[in-house]
Amino acid sequence: MKRRVSAALAASALALTAVPAMAPAANAKAIGEDSLAGLLTSDGNTFDKNKNDFDIVTEAALAIVGAKPDSPVALLADGTQRLTVFAPTDQAFRLLVKDLTGQTIKSEKKIFEALVDLAGVDTIETVLLYHVVPGKTLTSPKVLKADGAKLTTVQGGKVKVQVKTKPRLSITLKDRDRNDRDPKVVLKALDLNKGNKQVAHGIDRVLRPIDL
């Protein structure tokens, strides 16, 4: 199963790639091209009881590409393409479903199924693409220097970065929903896939591209 979905992601990514990768300069440090899809599926991409990992967002991405092979979500399998993903934890999706339904669902599988039933593949695709910043490898030092910056996402909307150092360090992402708490970057989940063109940072809420 893992090999099949990973191959589907890779094939779709090749179809979406328009610009050939440039070879690094002779005196430049080589940057890896391991994809985020490879990292996210490396644990077998199965639902578990760890609320702090990324099983639900992984399964959501695979479901989108399975239904829509030409989706830009497939770029997560093309490690030659620079991008940064703010990846919601499983707990972030649990909080989203509770907000939408009023119910606390413990099972990650049931949370995923509830999202599909409530939103459908097209809406989930839009939401996921709102978490992807294309063309930039924003490692944590760059994010920390981005206070006030507005990042344009693949979805087309913008996310504003707010960095505070006192009383303790926090990185908040301001989305389009003004009625709920904005996501914060999980400081223990920074620089996932570090050393490669594609990096991710965990966040504790799901970014919302519209005002719910």
Average pLDDT over residues 32-43: 95
The pair phi, psi for residue 59, each rounded to 5°, is -65, -35
| Helical ranges in the chain per DSSP H | 2-16, 36-40, 55-67, 90-101, 108-129, 140-144
Task: Give pLDDT, residue 1.
Answer: 37
Residue 161, pLDDT above cutoff 90: yes
Task: Give pLDDT, residue 63.
Answer: 96
178: number of Cβ within 10 Å: 10
pTM: 0.87
- Give the CB-side neighbour count of residue 164, counting CA atoms within 13 A: 7
Structural contact between residues 13 and 177, judged by C-beta atoms closer than 8 angstroms = no
63-122 pLDDT tens trace: 999 999 999 999 999 999 999 999 999 999 999 999 999 999 999 999 999 999 999 999
- Angle at which helix 55-67 crosses helix 2-16, to 10 degrees, equals 60
